[in-house]
Amino acid sequence: MSNKMNSPLSGIIPPLVTPLLDNDVLDIEGLEKLIEHLIDGRVHALFVLGTTGEAQSLSYKLRVEMIKNTCRIVNGRLPVLVCISDTSIIESVNLARIAADNGADAVVSAPPYYFASGQPELAEFYEDLVPQLPLPLFLYNMPTHTKVNFAPATIRRIAEDFRVIGFKDSSANTVYFQSVMYAMKDRPDFAMFVGPEEITGEAVLLGAHGGINGGANMFPKLYVSLYNAARERNMEELLRLQKIVMQISSTIYTVGQHGSSYLKGLKTVLSLLGICNDFVASPFHRFEKPERDKVRKALENLDLNLVLK
């Protein structure tokens, strides 16, 4: 475990998009620009191969390239978290070893997502997995994609192993998130993060450690400012920034018709900002011109001077 993990992580951790030139070709130049953009934006760590990183749509070869290149480019300037979610425990362990070998600081795992597990099965899965991992682990709750929620008691049980150091919740259900916070109230070392940027402000106000927010790929300073406002309990500033966060959520992420709109909108903006290619891996495709124009319009309507100064 790297020194960087000695106290709980906190702040804004962008779940990096995976810049692509084709289904199996990494946009390395785009990745370099993206990482420099995020470090300039003063984010607190980087998270690769998550849902926003389209990990499941990528070949293992490309996932490995993404780990290697990210660690090489970051070069110790920030903690790097690598998502190892897989349906096979063997492949999860393989990815964790590659992450460790390349200098990553922690791994992140959502439950196996083909079969739906019961709670005891979920706990047993992590009791099997954790001892095989060379890095500390964050649990990742993503019930729409994995068909199961970690029950608060299951998290407590898994986290009895102190190599399990935190939790990311992308359920958007803050009653559930509060229940996990309460179940873990005796463990101040256990880092609690939310996925959706729309609720990072309120989660941090109520005691969470930060947000793993996709929008931070585009506008890292906005989300870092939001986090800081919440940490400092500066409600005026937080509400001002929250409005911009909601404008992004209500426009850039809602251009298409399917669940993939968020990802396509995000990559389109990154392309419009000159950061990286907007190629989206199969089963999805990048937006066509009409949708791209709508995203451009939404981007122009954002008053970014308010946050990007």
The footprint of a copy of itself on residues 256-285 (CB under 8 A) is 257-260, 281-285
59 touching a copy of itself, by CB under 8 A: yes
- CA 65, 218, 300, 254: dihedral to nearest 10 degrees? 80
Q: Under rule CB under 8 A, which residues in 62-91 are in contact with a copy of itself?
A: 62, 87-91
Q: Which stretch binds a copy of itself (CB under 8 A): 8-16, 65-73, 216-224, 254-262?
A: 254-262
Based on its alpha-carbon atoms, the radius of gyration of the chain, rounded to whole angstroms, reads 18
Is residue 239 part of the contact set for a copy of itself (CB under 8 A)? yes
**Residue 103 contacts a copy of itself per CB under 8 A:** no
- Note whether 301 binds a copy of itself by CB under 8 A: no
Q: Which is nearer to a copy of itself, 77 or 185 (CB)?
A: 185
CA–CA dist 77, 92 (Å, integer): 25
Report angle CA 42, 261, 294 to the nearest 5 degrees: 90
Where b means 16+ CB within 10 Å and e means fewer, 119-150 reads: eeebbebbeebbeebebbbbbbbbbeebebbb
The minimum distance between CB 139 and a copy of itself, in angstroms, equals 14
Question: Residue 137 phi/psi, 5° resolution?
Answer: -120, 135
Q: Which of these ranges, 38-46, 55-63, 99-107, 220-228, lies near a copy of itself under the rule CB under 8 A? A: 55-63
Check the CA dihedral 298-221-80-152 and report its sign.
negative
- Please, which residue, 78 or 150, has the CB nearer to a copy of itself? 150
Report if residue 160 touches a copy of itself, rule: CB under 8 A: no
